Structure 1
Amino acid sequence: MVFKKMLAAFGVGGPSVDTVLDSPVCQPGGQLTGKVYLKGGETPVDIEHVALGLVTRVEVEGGDYEHDAHVEFHRIPVAGAFRLEAGEQRAVPFQFPVPWETPITDLYGQHLHGMTMGLRTELAVARAVDKGDLDPVSVQPLPAQERILEAFARLGFRFKRADLEHGHIHGVAQTLPFYQEIEFFAAPQYAHRVNEVELTFVANPNFMDVILEADKRSGLFTPGGDNFGHLRVEYATAHATDWAAEIDAWMRAVIERYPAGHAPYGHEYHHGHEYHHGHEYHHGHGGGLGAGGAIAGAAAGFIGGMVAGEVIDEIGDFFEGEE
């Protein structure tokens, strides 16, 4: 075993550590497993604790500017206090639960431009704490999330970038201090009225919230601005819906029927109360998304059912906009 991470905080001759994942690939709500390998240095040391933390990069607004910050958003202890003898080698197995709201970093083997995710090992000895390097982690979408992303690709949207915004979305039971925005260039059939569309997932064990934001161009007689849609996804329902058709219906309603600041089919967001990405709104009434009002089998569903999406032929075009 090669111990690649000499802990700088403990000096030459101190202990070393290496974290080895069984697999760096996971899903929201899943887990990462592996072992933390420790090797004693030249003298015995008393280890106070070993901990692991998921770390990602978040955009934080600070006055008139934004900056990136690396945020540890989930942390678990791996081992408590123990004595590590000189030259001793010890393996500490772990099971690291991945939060349901963990942002997606990869899709169909393609990394989402703008995303950073890693597992960091922390070792504390004699009140000195060493936070090691990040071991890269790949977060794949849940099947329901994959179905939505697949529908965007089928409609001709091109992926632009993804990022994490610091803050909370009004009306959503969000536990992490940030949310992911997956940005798309508008598909050709909507590009005359819409610049970009942003997609946000906030998942939990039973359902997920799906938030859509369309950046609408101004027209000769109609204003531009952002149009929002917020729908609840029940995993166990709405598994037979044509999601490309549903998204297309929402987009066409945004373009043709609704002024900026409103979303179709009973989901209205008005200016004046809460903030989402710099725009104020509050919730109106609930309802389904799609022509006629509600999706069959889901009282408030945009997409549901843990249905595996097939690999799409259009994946190359989907990532064409990646920078």
Structure 2
Amino acid sequence: MVFKRLLGSPGAGGPTVDTVLEPGPVRPGGTLAGQVRLVGGGAALDVEQLTLALVARIENGNGGSGGNQVPAVLFERFTLGGGFRLGEGETRTVPFGVTLPWETPVTELDGRDLGVRLGVRTELEVAGARDSGDGLDPLGVGPLPAQEAILEAFQRLGYGLRSAGLEHGRIGGTGQRLPFHQEIGLTPAPPYADRVREIELTFLTHPGGIDVVLEADKRGAVPDSDEYPGHDALSRFTVGHDDTRDWTTEVDGWVRELVEHREAYGSDSAYGHDAPHGRQAEG
């Protein structure tokens, strides 16, 4: 797929920048490969820096459930080259292979678009001026094997996918590095439908594995009341990127532990959110 950038106004004779990504989704921690094709304009110029930026569109509000959209948030930038002269009409190709951050959100599952908007932006800095193009070109990210297996286990157990948005803030008590995290909202399976409103799932991936953070919203509580201090119960479990387990049994045990913890200790939690609607980790 080709993403075209024209620097300068039409007819101004500026250089053309086309970014071509290898087809197919990339996985978190995987290699995003492609090439940037530069074509010189009506005059030679000195390219000081060529950069690839990764950005995310984040909703105001809980997850991806219809809040007002905010400007794109930069979460990684890669320098691809620079320090060369691009002649008049000259064609130059700059290949690249960059590693996605481990915490990069998943945008699709089994070919289904989850509604998460990630983008690639090509930036060309010429004589101290940077042109960032006119918008974002989509970046597709698929799940790691363990992420996919866990989501499939939830589906087998009767949970439904409600949302998969991005949320500002960090989850306390974790090693989260990005300024946002992905929340996958699941409607509860029949055994828990009368006790919880929603299960929220977050994958915090790192080189050593995946921290699976589960959060249960209490059914019947009034938001922002003493009974409902943001979100009321969280649990964290760590798995490997390629772990093979009886995931149906494993996931069912996680949810049972989460719900029983909430019922035994009320809204006590080992983790919390730095986001405005949440609370910090205790102790």
TM superposition score normalised by structure 1: 0.74
Q: What amino acid does structure 1 have at the position aligned with 2:122?
A: T
Q: Deviations over 1:51-76 (max 9, x none)?
A: 00111112457xxx975231111111
Aligned residues of 1:228 and 1:262 also touching (Cα < 8 A): no
Aligned residues of 1:52 and 1:122 also touching (Cα < 8 A): yes
Aligned residues of 1:226 and 1:260 also touching (Cα < 8 A): no
Q: 1:42 to 1:3 in 2, by over 3 A?
A: farther
Aligned length: 269
Q: What amino acid does structure 2 have at the position aligned with 1:279?
A: G
Aligned residues of 1:121 and 1:131 also touching (Cα < 8 A): yes
Q: What amino acid does structure 2 have at the position aligned with 1:149?
A: L
Partner-residue secondary structure (3-state), 1:269:
coil
Aligned residues of 1:3 and 1:16 also touching (Cα < 8 A): no
- Within the candidate set 232, 236, 254, 1:230 is matched to 236
Query: 1: CA distance between counterparts of 2:73 and 2:265?
Result: 32
Determine the structure 2 residue equivalent to 1:19. Answer: 19
Is 1:244 aligned to residue 245 of structure 2?
A: no
Q: What amino acid does structure 2 have at the position aligned with 1:232?
A: T
Q: RMSD of the alignment, in Å? A: 2.8
TM superposition score normalised by structure 2: 0.84
Aligned residues of 1:9 and 1:129 also touching (Cα < 8 A): no
Query: 2: CA distance between counterparts of 1:72 and 1:270?
Result: 29
Q: What amino acid does structure 1 have at the position aligned with 2:250?
A: E
| Residue segments in structure 1 that go unaligned for 5+ positions in a row | 285-323
Determine the structure 2 residue equivalent to 1:312. Answer: none
Query: 1: CA distance between counterparts of 2:21 and 2:273?
Result: 41
Q: 1:45 to 1:30 in 2, by over 3 A?
A: same
Q: CA deviation at 1:254?
A: 4.5
- Within the candidate set 69, 76, 79, 1:77 is matched to 79
Q: What amino acid does structure 1 have at the position aligned with 2:206?
A: N
Q: What amino acid does structure 2 have at the position aligned with 1:280?
A: R
Query: 1: CA distance between counterparts of 2:18 and 2:196?
Result: 48
Query: 2: CA distance between counterparts of 1:157 and 1:176?
Result: 28
Q: CA deviation at 1:249?
A: 3.0
Q: 1:26 to 1:105 in 2, by over 3 A?
A: same
- Within the candidate set 215, 218, 221, 2:217 is matched to 215
Aligned residues of 1:184 and 1:198 also touching (Cα < 8 A): yes
Q: Deviations over 1:72-106 (max 9, x none)?
A: 11111111111111010110111121010101100
Q: 1:214 to 1:276 in 2, by over 3 A?
A: farther
Query: 2: CA distance between counterparts of 1:257 and 1:213?
Result: 11
Q: 1:270 to 1:71 in 2, by over 3 A?
A: closer
Q: Percent identity?
A: 46
Determine the structure 2 residue equivalent to 1:183. Answer: 185
Determine the structure 2 residue equivalent to 1:278. Answer: 277
| Residue segments in structure 2 that go unaligned for 5+ positions in a row | 62-66, 222-226
Equivalent positions of 1:1-323 (< 5 A) are 4-8=4-8, 12-59=12-59, 68-113=70-115, 115-132=116-133, 133-218=135-220, 226-235=232-241, 239-240=244-245, 242-255=246-259, 258-259=262-263, 269=269, 275=274, 278-280=277-279, 282=281
The 10-residue stretch of structure 1 (228-237 or 72-81) with the greater mean CA deviation from structure 2: 228-237
